[in-house]
Structure 1
Amino acid sequence: MIDNSQDAKTPLERFLNLFTEVRSGEAISALMLALNIYLILSAYYVLKPVREALILAGGGAEIKSYAAAGQAMLLLLAVPFYGWLASKVSRRLLINGVTLFFAACLLLFYFLAQIDTPLGVVFFLWVGIFNLMVPAQFWAFANDIYNPEEGERLFVIVAFGASLGAVSGSYLDHLLIESLGVYQMMLVAAGILVFSLLITNFLHNSTQPAHSHPQKKEDNHTAAKEEDDHAEEEPLKEGGSFSMVFNNRYLLLIAVLMLLLNWVNTTGEYILGRTVLESANQLLADNPSYPLSKEQIIGEFYAGFFTVVNIAGLVLQLFVVSRILKFFGVRVALMILPIIALGGYIVAAFYPVLAYVRWVKTAENATDYSLQNTVRQVLFLPTTREQKYKAKQAIDTFFVRAGDVLSAALVFAGTTWLALSTQGFALINILLVCVWLIIALMIGKHYRRLVPRDSETKTQEE
């Protein structure tokens, strides 16, 4: 747990208070964690265009769809192995070993590319495992450092690092891929990962976990610190990742929430793509001499769409998320995204016009990338160390990907057998969001019992 005993705030801490409440002694750890996840997300977004180039050039869009389903199957093996490893080694060795393994894989992929080895499907599957497991491991580490009260405040800054990493990683690709080449970006990502590991080890040495002694007395601080340091060198207790989820009601509800969220969101992406395509076809049919091709119209739309979503997400993360958590708490914050999604898909079901659907998905995605991403990490703050590292891996990887697979199955059934219209898919999403709202309400009640402080308004606490 971070030491907050100092009363005076530094200029940096006063600056960060523009975005969330940062107390004396907290700024450096929060910014270092933000830098850590910034580097991890930058590495992923450096690799994302490489992944797309290799899978589409080597197999096509159909193979890409099948490979996405294959990622969920691989996670059924990867997640239990990660849990077993966490039971055998210390936290430091676990994080260092897993991160270095993924960095070493990138060097191996680069070597195989030099001898003309086909990499499309294998690399696609590997990136799908990497981009879920390594961020989940980071957030388990961040949860291990902060207690619930600290995490609710400071995760706003940490999550901003993730959002910024996604933007800058994509921009780095834009700058370098043409001059360096596709395969050389693997080496760039490997270097970024190793750098992120240096930050992790710095934080490991300079902080202590919040789970063991959340409210220590001052005169016992030294002894407690030594006990915590010893605990960090011990492996986690035995127990399977998936069994932890299914045997704990709170964790199972979070897992179902993540499955539903991704099922709805991915289906929503299909609704948007279908609407964009129909709009482009209609535009060209009405204007045969239109100066842009169908591909250019679609590309221009998505370029503007992603820009607005990313900017809106960053603004929400900086200026809105902390205020919602401070004045309304986690329970209310959990309900905001499904309420936005419910209203949006009601609009899409009755008015499937591109102008409406675009802003529905803009609001949904920007809220997902900012508020929802922060709240989902906060939910693990009151859990045990084993649950943070093991159960969180299962939830943030397999259950997230399972939502994507269910969406793909829905789209396949809806287009092949049921002949669903765009409105039909929107109506199904409305039903799914209603279930999502119920699950979010139940999770909020569980969180209130685990963290009673959250049941009071932040104004009363002040």
Structure 2
Amino acid sequence: MLKRFVNVKDEEIGPVLVSFLYFFTLMCGYAILKPLRDEMATAKGVQGVPWLFTATFLVMLVAVPVFSALVSRWPRRRVLPLVYRFFLLHLLIFFGVLKLGVDRNAVAPAFFVWVSVYNLFVVSVFWTFMADLFVNEQGRRLFGFIAAGGTTGMLVGPFLVKLLAEPVGATNLMLITAVLLEASAQCVRRLSRQETVAPSQARSAEAPVGGGVFAGLRLLFSSPLLRGLALQMLLYAATSTFLYYQQVHIVDRGASGANARAAAFANIDFWVQVLTLVLQLGVTGRLIHRFGLGAALAVAPLITALGFAGLALLPGMGMLISFKALRNASHYALERPGREILFTGVDRETKYKSKGFIDTVVYRGSDTVSSWLYRGLDVLGLGPMGLALSAVPVACLWLTVSVWLARYSRAHLPPAQPAWNASTDAAR
């Protein structure tokens, strides 16, 4: 039945299903925390968001070297579960603090920063593991379906919140996320025991990565591919921040009251996830196979440029929902799997160190700068139309970088190797 949705080989079915479940547990847990984080963040108004982004960026500057030190000394089957249990422990601390009746406004900034770090970090670790577990040829076929596990989690999580928030209490839902985090750790252990590539390659993947704590930064500046990926991430994050503020202003104008605003945000998120899931299950693998990585990487920035132009002309709820649904769906279903495929062709130190730096520090650094820039332009009186149009050239540069990355990968990365299977290994 699985083969109806994805071009999977018999020996890959087990790892693919566990990977799907792994991403589902991560994103379902995050989707449960996200409404609680957003509700706390808006208590003091949008003006405080740049400070929260800045604090998140500073925390990332500490977290990434710590993770690099861990993977330098310990194998992934020990480090990755440790990361998830680290976040699990802090989640239980927040749960205890809120249950003791501490003022939510006092907890809100720390909780916002923690969830923002948690989301980026655990997703980055997940895709690093996938790039280490599967080879390039497998990634092209399988990453779209595996990514659908996260999208399914983002659909189920809000449903659980809607179903249980009132009878159980929103704070108590943190315990569900804690259980899901432990399930993610168990998925790592299960996948670490399964071989998706040749046994010799699987054994080498279980050794510590080695190298220095700041090797990720050194590798980033020495590799044209990594510099391109960092610039691509920076531009994506910048347009995301501008769109976030556009969304806040449009929803604030079009919806009166907290309940109406919450419903509007939920409506946007719902259509984003539905469209993303449809693309991931039926389009991603086939599009990459037929048209290559260039097409997968180019769709999201192209939609972003057209969408901001559309918002400048028609800054309404209908345009916002259409734009955000198409942009986010193309990012999660096409561009993100395409980016992760590029990381299957680099060495393990680059995967576990430079990739983490790009996915977290570069992303949140762009968030921080873009947030302050948007606020400055708003204070100067640029206006909604001018603010939307200012993002169009950024999206065009993002499109240029994406096309270059696809061309560079064809010219410089090693060709895709066929997946290992029992019969070919036995023949050797």
TM-score exceeds 0.5: yes
Tell me the equivalent position of 1:125: 113
Matches within 5 A, 1:361-440: 361-417=324-380, 419-440=381-402
Tell me the equivalent position of 2:410: 448
Residue segments in structure 1 that go unaligned for 5+ positions in a row: 1-14, 214-224, 281-292, 455-462
2:98 corresponds to which of 96, 110, 113 = 113
- Taking the aligned partners of 1:298 and 1:234, their CA distance within structure 2 comes to 48
Tell me the equivalent position of 1:264: 239
How far apart are residue 176 of structure 1 and its match?
2.3
Tell me the equivalent position of 1:92: 77
Letter in 2 for 1:182: A
Is the 8 Å Cα contact of residues 155 and 270 (structure 2) preserved in structure 1? no
Tell me the equivalent position of 1:289: none
How far apart are residue 194 of structure 1 and its match?
0.7
Tell me the equivalent position of 2:424: none
Mean Cα displacement is larger for which, 31-40 or 429-438? Answer: 429-438
Mean Cα displacement is larger for which, 346-355 or 87-96? Answer: 346-355
**Could you say which structure has the greater relative contact order, defined with CA pairs below 8 angstroms and 6 or more residues apart?**
2
- Taking the aligned partners of 1:299 and 1:114, their CA distance within structure 2 comes to 24
User: Secondary structure of 1:119's match?
Assistant: helix
- Taking the aligned partners of 2:109 and 2:289, their CA distance within structure 1 comes to 45
1:332 aligns with 2:295: yes
Is the 8 Å Cα contact of residues 221 and 227 (structure 2) preserved in structure 1? yes
Is the 8 Å Cα contact of residues 87 and 237 (structure 1) preserved in structure 2? yes
How far apart are residue 268 of structure 1 and its match?
2.1
User: Secondary structure of 1:258's match?
Assistant: helix
Compared CA separation, residues 245 and 157, structure 1 to 2 (3 A): same
Based on CA coordinates, which of the two structures has the bigger radius of gyration? 1
Tell me the equivalent position of 1:457: none
1:53-109 deviation per Cα after TM superposition (whole angstroms, max 9, x unaligned): 44445x554444422221011111111111112112111111121111111112222
2:223 corresponds to which of 234, 248, 265 = 248
User: Secondary structure of 2:312's match?
Assistant: helix
**What TM-score does the superposition give when structure 1 sets the normalisation length?**
0.83
Tell me the equivalent position of 2:16: 30
Compared CA separation, residues 263 and 168, structure 1 to 2 (3 A): same
- Taking the aligned partners of 1:55 and 1:423, their CA distance within structure 2 comes to 26
- Taking the aligned partners of 1:271 and 1:175, their CA distance within structure 2 comes to 30
Tell me the equivalent position of 2:425: none
1:200 corresponds to which of 173, 176, 188 = 188
How far apart are residue 392 of structure 1 and its match?
1.3
Matches within 5 A, 1:41-52: 41-52=27-38
User: Secondary structure of 1:379's match?
Assistant: helix
Is the 8 Å Cα contact of residues 161 and 170 (structure 2) preserved in structure 1? no
Compared CA separation, residues 54 and 88, structure 1 to 2 (3 A): same
Is the 8 Å Cα contact of residues 50 and 185 (structure 1) preserved in structure 2? no
Query: Which is richer in helix?
Result: 2
Is the 8 Å Cα contact of residues 236 and 385 (structure 1) preserved in structure 2? no
What's the % identity of the aligned pairs?
29
1:301-320 deviation per Cα after TM superposition (whole angstroms, max 9, x unaligned): 43433322221111111111
- Taking the aligned partners of 1:312 and 1:47, their CA distance within structure 2 comes to 22
1:238 corresponds to which of 193, 204, 212 = 212
**What TM-score does the superposition give when structure 2 sets the normalisation length?**
0.89
Compared CA separation, residues 440 and 39, structure 1 to 2 (3 A): same
How far apart are residue 138 of structure 1 and its match?
1.2
Compared CA separation, residues 56 and 342, structure 1 to 2 (3 A): closer
1:229 corresponds to which of 197, 200, 203 = 203
The number of residue pairs the alignment matches comes to 412
Is the 8 Å Cα contact of residues 244 and 391 (structure 1) preserved in structure 2? yes
How far apart are residue 251 of structure 1 and its match?
0.9
Letter in 2 for 1:170: P
How far apart are residue 349 of structure 1 and its match?
3.2
- Taking the aligned partners of 2:388 and 2:48, their CA distance within structure 1 comes to 26
Mean Cα displacement is larger for which, 231-240 or 124-133? Answer: 231-240
Tell me the equivalent position of 2:62: 77
Over aligned residue pairs, what C-alpha RMSD do you find?
A: 2.3
